[in-house]
Structure 1
């Protein structure tokens, strides 16, 4: 990075903090601070919802996911448009009619305070971890760039987000997220065009897709019925549907975004906009990752993308062995370069050469094996090292192959996304703890006191999220870890909400004990690792619905016996 990059990056961050702080002036009560006086138009709602979900993890981890595994991850989002329709029809009218501050306030109206508290506590657990992840993600960037201590950077970024969140309000968050969304998509689009521009003259965009397909990067649809498969059409439509229904319908970080809408119609239009654009957006980000893969067919890439691990092994007893693997990789990459250029030239002449295809596949396997051996050496040098480097692929490309100025813009994209999603998460946690845990139990305070509690909650939970971020280790990669955490907890909460909306037969006692039991059971099933994590949403949701009906039946039967 040079001074131009630092100017662009720091200017963006300062603008977010200062603008958010200035826009918060006038938030004199809880309603304005949390709901922005319910005066937000539909397209602001839509962009705010998208920006909240699109964290730094999305732009750090998703391209790396595609670099290694291709476009199949997009199947995860197949259930999202359907979830938006269900939320617009079933959830929004109820929330708007009851004029709730949080989604969990509705559960007290339908069941009792115990059930509201249970759902709020489950939310606070999973969202505090999720927000910790969104703080941790950009910390990786600065740690990689500057070689600074990761923990210190995490704490610094977390404090910056606490300040921005504390002085902000939902109105400020909604406004800044519109600008953040523009910066994010503009930066990614420019990067996509620049990658293609940097391809050799023999490589057209069409050729690059053919090359990616040969290397298994264009396999979008997986119709396997094996429940242990992580990403399939069926898990995306079912498990992904329930996860998105839970996230957008019951997670306060999202519910809080659209509860500020002017009317039911404005909220519904904003969510439909999100449903229409989200899958194409994720596909585009994954495609950027595939283009990075193609780019590295013609440009040097490291044996391992995590610079911290590379520095560590270069100072270990395995340095010589690691250098030998690097030399082997260079030979393979050079041969891949020649074969790929030759194949592309023949494609330009409308000739598809199966011999060259097979050579590319074999070379790709060799490259994968060499990288695997490199990871094994890193593990030998430091058994506690995380050898999965997916989250470092895109940042390596940004720092080493993009021109100055664009580097600063892409880092601004990632930090904008981080601050947007982290602030939304922190607002949601503070709102839930203040409204669902404090105000619901302590009812004799003034509105100003509730506002103070909400703001103090921002500080408390901000510290919790920072501590969480400091102890997180990479698990597969960040984008997967976020979704795994959601899958563990969302199903139970969604089940409670669906029963509340559609199963009037079930009462408070049955739903509370069922929800508690199912949540513990889902955690146990996850620890056994017997199904893909997306199925946990379905298991949790259906478990709560079916079991609560059974429990209510026995409660009713027992009551009848006592009466007789």
Structure 2
């Protein structure tokens, strides 16, 4: 399909204009930096909960999860199962902690605990995480819209990025939250609509889908053996727990929302609302992926065009038809899972409904990207500009800085998305990058709030050791065969688990040694 029908284009256009108008509406209130970053603490808890839910339910979920379920099974759903425990810890300890500090930045207290180096390190990790997140989401939305419109992925990212930048800069965090409330509803409705269309197009209906899924082991949560080399149930559970702990405890996207609530109780309720919504919603996307597998299993000829497209993307431009055909024959469902949802939309969704579903996918992308832009700008303003460049910045200058930083981070996110063109799995790339960047700051954060006796020397030593472990686990696979014994034997999703525990436990160990020496000296 080289162009959407006018009706679908009109629906998408109306949606985009609506999001921009939301930013224009809230721009009247954004007269100072507190309103831009905190919305003066007047957002109701239910709206914050829907906003956090919308941030979790990004286009990585909308496209990556069905693609993952199509190419594999429900192993990645274990990530969602881990959320309640992380949410309980966050609502009981993290929310009161941040609300009591009164600091808009999640990283200010690290400097108070360990020194300026800790704050700088956490800020760098956060900003890299946001660029990876925004890039993967830009890429995901461009992948989908390219199949529908025929436009280049670069052009799609640029147009989308401009729209997101406009309403985020104009409306601040309040526009971000209220647009995410709308987007939470739109994207959930879109997912239900896609599921309905797959089932109604499936010969044999639900029973046939279940039969095919069971025979292909599509509903498996992974091996329950204590296997940390492959993506077992336990690997994903541990990964999900540590990532969600980082999200709720260290990610500026979420910490900033705690401050927009009227009370700690309202902020805690928003976390639980997110969990109650996200866990069944993520299950919905795994069901969609399994339904798509069943649909294309009974319609294998429909997959050929996808395989052909993937083969052309992977081979050099001057490759022969025989080379393309040979590669097509070797491709497995996991190799083209991310393209399945767009393909189904192109071929099976009626005119008019395509516009609604594209709007849902757009909302999934826009909510997370706008949150990342606002949070990154806030961190840059508080933790870098005010701290090291101009501490006496005026209110007017600070608001202008926030606007400019929002634009810059939006552009950097687009560049990151363009750089990701051609990756095999959106979800895999995002999980791997987020685990690498989050491991160090989560370990340092837990050390700071749990071990009150740990000081700067122990913390910096533990962090250096932890970073060395993270670097080794990340890059040791590149070692030549003769050094295979020195490669990381664990699954890549274990990086955040091992990295976090290395920093935390090393810090505890060094603190105990220090205390023992002090007692001996006395």
TM-score, normalization: structure 1? 0.84
- Other structure's SS at 2:73 match: helix
Q: Determine if contact 2:161/2:414 at 8 Å carries over to the other structure.
A: yes
Q: Determine if contact 1:209/1:218 at 8 Å carries over to the other structure.
A: no
Pick one of 355, 364, 384 that aligns with 1:417: 364
Which residue does the alignment assign to 2:194?
Answer: 191
Q: Determine if contact 1:46/1:270 at 8 Å carries over to the other structure.
A: yes
- Other structure's SS at 1:169 match: helix
Which residue does the alignment assign to 2:7?
Answer: 4
Report 1:295-306 matches (<5 A).
295-299=295-299, 300-303=301-304, 305=306
Which residue does the alignment assign to 1:491?
Answer: 439
Residue 180 of structure 1 deviates from its aligned partner by 0.5
- Measured against aligned partners, the alpha-carbon deviations of 1:96-144 in whole angstroms (never above 9, x if no partner) come to 0111111112223333332112111111122112212212221222333
Pick one of 316, 330, 352 that aligns with 1:373: 330
Which residue does the alignment assign to 1:270?
Answer: 270
Which residue does the alignment assign to 1:436?
Answer: 383
Q: Determine if contact 2:227/2:235 at 8 Å carries over to the other structure.
A: no
* Residue 256 (structure 1) aligned with residue 204 (structure 2): no
Pair 1:308–1:148, CA change in 2 (3 A): farther
- Other structure's SS at 2:248 match: helix
Q: Tell me the distance in 2 between the aligned counterparts of 1:559 and 1:151.
A: 60
Residue 238 of structure 1 deviates from its aligned partner by 2.1
Which residue does the alignment assign to 1:133?
Answer: 136
Q: Tell me the distance in 2 between the aligned counterparts of 1:236 and 1:133.
A: 20
Q: Tell me the distance in 2 between the aligned counterparts of 1:10 and 1:18.
A: 12
- Measured against aligned partners, the alpha-carbon deviations of 1:435-464 in whole angstroms (never above 9, x if no partner) come to 111122332222222222222111222222
Pair 1:409–1:62, CA change in 2 (3 A): same
- Other structure's SS at 1:422 match: helix
- Other structure's SS at 2:194 match: helix
Pair 1:162–1:559, CA change in 2 (3 A): farther
- Other structure's SS at 2:74 match: helix
Q: Tell me the distance in 2 between the aligned counterparts of 1:133 and 1:156.
A: 16
Residue 475 of structure 1 deviates from its aligned partner by 3.9
Q: Tell me the distance in 2 between the aligned counterparts of 1:238 and 1:55.
A: 21
Q: Determine if contact 1:522/1:536 at 8 Å carries over to the other structure.
A: yes
Q: Which range moves more in the overlay, 408-417 or 203-212?
A: 203-212
Q: Determine if contact 1:126/1:489 at 8 Å carries over to the other structure.
A: yes
Q: Determine if contact 2:53/2:275 at 8 Å carries over to the other structure.
A: no
Q: Determine if contact 1:304/1:374 at 8 Å carries over to the other structure.
A: no
Q: Determine if contact 1:489/1:519 at 8 Å carries over to the other structure.
A: no
Q: Tell me the distance in 2 between the aligned counterparts of 1:85 and 1:250.
A: 15
Residue 495 of structure 1 deviates from its aligned partner by 1.1
Q: Determine if contact 1:92/1:268 at 8 Å carries over to the other structure.
A: yes
Residue 518 of structure 1 deviates from its aligned partner by 1.4
Report 1:63-74 matches (<5 A).
63-74=66-77
* Residue 142 (structure 1) aligned with residue 145 (structure 2): yes
Q: Determine if contact 2:12/2:355 at 8 Å carries over to the other structure.
A: yes
Which residue does the alignment assign to 2:411?
Answer: 463
Pair 1:225–1:473, CA change in 2 (3 A): farther
Q: Determine if contact 2:377/2:406 at 8 Å carries over to the other structure.
A: yes
Pair 1:389–1:308, CA change in 2 (3 A): same
Which residue does the alignment assign to 1:391?
Answer: 338
Residue 240 of structure 1 deviates from its aligned partner by 1.5
Residue 317 of structure 1 deviates from its aligned partner by 5.0
Q: Determine if contact 2:108/2:383 at 8 Å carries over to the other structure.
A: yes
Pair 1:26–1:306, CA change in 2 (3 A): farther
TM-score, normalization: structure 2? 0.90
Which residue does the alignment assign to 2:234?
Answer: 234
- Other structure's SS at 1:393 match: helix
Residue 34 of structure 1 deviates from its aligned partner by 0.5
Report 1:184-223 matches (<5 A).
184-200=187-203, 203-223=204-224
Residue 322 of structure 1 deviates from its aligned partner by 5.0
Q: Tell me the distance in 2 between the aligned counterparts of 1:249 and 1:372.
A: 46
Pair 1:527–1:475, CA change in 2 (3 A): farther
Q: Tell me the distance in 2 between the aligned counterparts of 1:111 and 1:317.
A: 57
> Considering only CA atoms, is the larger Rg found in Structure 1 or Structure 2?
1
Which residue does the alignment assign to 2:292?
Answer: 292
Pair 1:93–1:317, CA change in 2 (3 A): closer
Which residue does the alignment assign to 1:245?
Answer: 245
Pair 1:513–1:467, CA change in 2 (3 A): farther
Pick one of 319, 325, 349 that aligns with 2:321: 319
Q: Tell me the distance in 2 between the aligned counterparts of 1:126 and 1:99.
A: 24
- Other structure's SS at 2:260 match: coil
Residue 17 of structure 1 deviates from its aligned partner by 1.7
Q: Tell me the distance in 1 between the aligned counterparts of 2:147 and 2:465.
A: 43
Q: Determine if contact 1:128/1:429 at 8 Å carries over to the other structure.
A: no
- Other structure's SS at 2:302 match: coil
Pair 1:235–1:500, CA change in 2 (3 A): same
Which residue does the alignment assign to 1:504?
Answer: 452
Q: Tell me the distance in 1 between the aligned counterparts of 2:145 and 2:79.
A: 29
Pair 1:321–1:121, CA change in 2 (3 A): closer
Residue 538 of structure 1 deviates from its aligned partner by 1.4
Residue 500 of structure 1 deviates from its aligned partner by 1.5
Q: Tell me the distance in 2 between the aligned counterparts of 1:311 and 1:145.
A: 18
Q: Tell me the distance in 2 between the aligned counterparts of 1:322 and 1:216.
A: 30
Structure 2 unmatched runs, 5+: 478-488
Residue 520 of structure 1 deviates from its aligned partner by 3.8
Which residue does the alignment assign to 2:492?
Answer: 533
Q: Determine if contact 1:229/1:532 at 8 Å carries over to the other structure.
A: yes
The alignment yields a C-alpha RMSD, in angstroms, of: 2.5
